[in-house]
Amino acid sequence: MEPLASFGNSKVQSNTNLSTSISLSILDQNGNKISFETNSMRFVIPRDPNVIIPSMSLQNVTSTNSANHNLLFNLHYINITSALPISIHIEMNPLNLNLAYLFIYKFDQTPQLNSSINIIDGWAIFCPSDLNDENIYTYFLNNQQTLNYQSLIFGLREFNSEEYLQYCSSNSSTITLPITDRSYNFTSNYELRVYTSGCYYLDSNNNYQSDGLLVGSATNHYETECFSTHLTTFAGGFIVLPSPINWSYVFANAGFLQNKTVYLTVIIISLLFLILMIFARFKDKKDFEKLKIFPLIDNDKSDKYFYEILIFTGQRMNAGTKSRVHFILSGDLDETQIRKLENPHRTILQRGGIDAFILSVPK
């Protein structure tokens, strides 16, 4: 994501992500800027009101109930790698509004929660009383919480009737973390949407920075709430992320019998690759042999003069030959005996081939 907005006549190429920029300064009576710092100043950066927000993606979690699995949560993976810090906004729409859920998350690794393991960075309980006007559960992580992380993995599981009464009834006061060792069992599907936002300012080099800025929880699809400790030119970023990967569904449906076509395709391609690799290695060795220079078998060890002979065979049809070839090398003063072109290690004079020999002569 490049959550940048253009500034004045700046030549810096930027992408506003449907955000406008605002500038706020305090001037003295002579029109000079006054340095101003505060503990926290709130402002809102609007986005294009005509922006089309992608619809939520359906999570077909009930289909995994019949699968043989021991997963406690339905997991989702989000890539939050960004050049500038971002906030994460998770929206979950239950298709059955009378259900409650436990939400957990962990940065850069899979969250684990049971009676013996507690590896999470945060958690929340979604009760029907927490639904907003659009019947959506929301969870917010600001840009300081996500700083220096590359991914977020969060999990959801549906409460059973006992947990619902304990944590979501009108007279419930339990705030402890609900823990179970039972595999999840969803009775209804839900929809999911995740988007990110950010608050940024222009420094003296017309580069966007985020220090001293905090994204507020009131951020929504159409505006970004920012808190700042200084005054300058501000811009907000916004992007709706693709549907998170449902790792629970992937692992629960990764068996061979459920994916015969996929597994057989991978196995066949792997075997073909292995066969082609072996064949290619065999041909490489053959090509390497063609680069070698072989002495003629009728060379005499007492000879003191040597010549390199290169023979190029053409590419035309039937250019090669299996005949035994003999030759006489003639010079101005003398000539050799009848010599024989032969290589006991490989076939020579093949179509498109190059054969190299060393000829020795006494003078």
Model confidence pLDDT, tens digit, residues 54-64? 889 999 888 87
Under the banding of pLDDT at 50, 70 and 90, the label for residue 138 is very high
Specify the 3-state DSSP secondary structure of 188: coil
Q: What average pLDDT score do residues 23-38 get?
A: 60
Based on the fold, state whether residues 302 and 218 are members of the same structural domain: no
Contacts of 151 (CB under 8 A, 6+ apart): 77, 78, 79, 80, 81, 107, 108
Based on the fold, state whether residues 231 and 307 are members of the same structural domain: no
Q: With 50 as the cut, is the pLDDT of residue 166 above it?
A: yes
Q: How many CB atoms lie within 10 A of CB 224?
A: 26
In total, how many domains does the chain have? 2
Q: How far from each other are the two terminal CA atoms of the chain, in whole angstroms?
A: 78
* Window from 11-20, 134-143, 231-240 with minimum mean pLDDT: 11-20
Based on the fold, state whether residues 250 and 298 are members of the same structural domain: no
CA atoms within a 13 Å half-sphere pointing along the CA-CB vector of 132: 10
Q: How many CB atoms lie within 10 A of CB 92?
A: 22
Q: With 50 as the cut, is the pLDDT of residue 5 above it?
A: no
pLDDT tens digits, one per residue of 175-197 = 788 888 888 888 999 999 999 88
Q: Which residue, of 254, 285, 309, is where some domain finishes?
A: 254
Based on the fold, state whether residues 311 and 170 are members of the same structural domain: no
Annotate 63-117 with DSSP letters as a single string. GGTTS----SSEEEEEE---SS--EEEEEEEESSTT--EEEEEEESS--EESSS-
* Window from 30-34, 162-166, 270-274 with minimum mean pLDDT: 30-34
Based on the fold, state whether residues 41 and 188 are members of the same structural domain: yes
Based on the fold, state whether residues 165 and 312 are members of the same structural domain: no
- Domain-located, residue 15: no
Under the banding of pLDDT at 50, 70 and 90, the label for residue 80 is confident
Q: 102 and 186 in contact (C-beta within 8 Å)?
A: no
Q: 210 and 228 in contact (C-beta within 8 Å)?
A: no
Q: Which residue, of 231, 254, 277, is where some domain finishes?
A: 254
Q: 250 and 12 in contact (C-beta within 8 Å)?
A: no
Based on the fold, state whether residues 227 and 78 are members of the same structural domain: yes
- Domain-located, residue 283: no
- Domain-located, residue 35: yes
* pLDDT of 243: 66
- Domain-located, residue 3: no
* Window from 80-89, 123-132, 234-243, 246-255 with minimum mean pLDDT: 234-243
Based on the fold, state whether residues 317 and 245 are members of the same structural domain: no
- Domain-located, residue 207: yes
Under the banding of pLDDT at 50, 70 and 90, the label for residue 237 is low
Question: Residue 330's domain spans which residues?
Answer: 294-361
- Pick from 89, 84, 88, 80: nearest CA to 108: 80
* pLDDT of 331: 85
Q: Which residue, of 195, 230, 254, is where some domain finishes?
A: 254
Annotate 229-273 with DSSP letters as a single string. EE-SEEEEEEEEPPPPEEHHHHHHT--TTT-HHHHHHHHHHHHHH
Q: What is the mean pLDDT of the chain?
A: 82
pTM of this structure: 0.60
Based on the fold, state whether residues 241 and 301 are members of the same structural domain: no
Q: What average pLDDT score do residues 310-320 get?
A: 88
Q: 80 and 151 in contact (C-beta within 8 Å)?
A: yes
Under the banding of pLDDT at 50, 70 and 90, the label for residue 96 is very high
Contacts of 253 (CB under 8 A, 6+ apart): 64, 67, 259
Structure tokens at 333: 């003063």
Based on the fold, state whether residues 176 and 77 are members of the same structural domain: yes
Under the banding of pLDDT at 50, 70 and 90, the label for residue 154 is very high
Q: With 60 as the cut, is the pLDDT of residue 22 above it?
A: no
Based on the fold, state whether residues 116 and 216 are members of the same structural domain: yes
Based on the fold, state whether residues 156 and 304 are members of the same structural domain: no
Amino acid at 174: T
* pLDDT of 108: 92
Q: 155 and 111 in contact (C-beta within 8 Å)?
A: yes
H helices of 32-135, where?
A: none
* Window from 237-246, 248-257, 286-295 with minimum mean pLDDT: 237-246
- Rounded to the nearest 10°, the torsion over CA 297, 298, 299, 300 is 130
Q: 244 and 80 in contact (C-beta within 8 Å)?
A: no
Q: With 50 as the cut, is the pLDDT of residue 12 above it?
A: no
Q: 252 and 45 in contact (C-beta within 8 Å)?
A: no
* pLDDT of 4: 39
Question: Residue 39: phi, psi to the nearest 5?
Answer: -65, -45
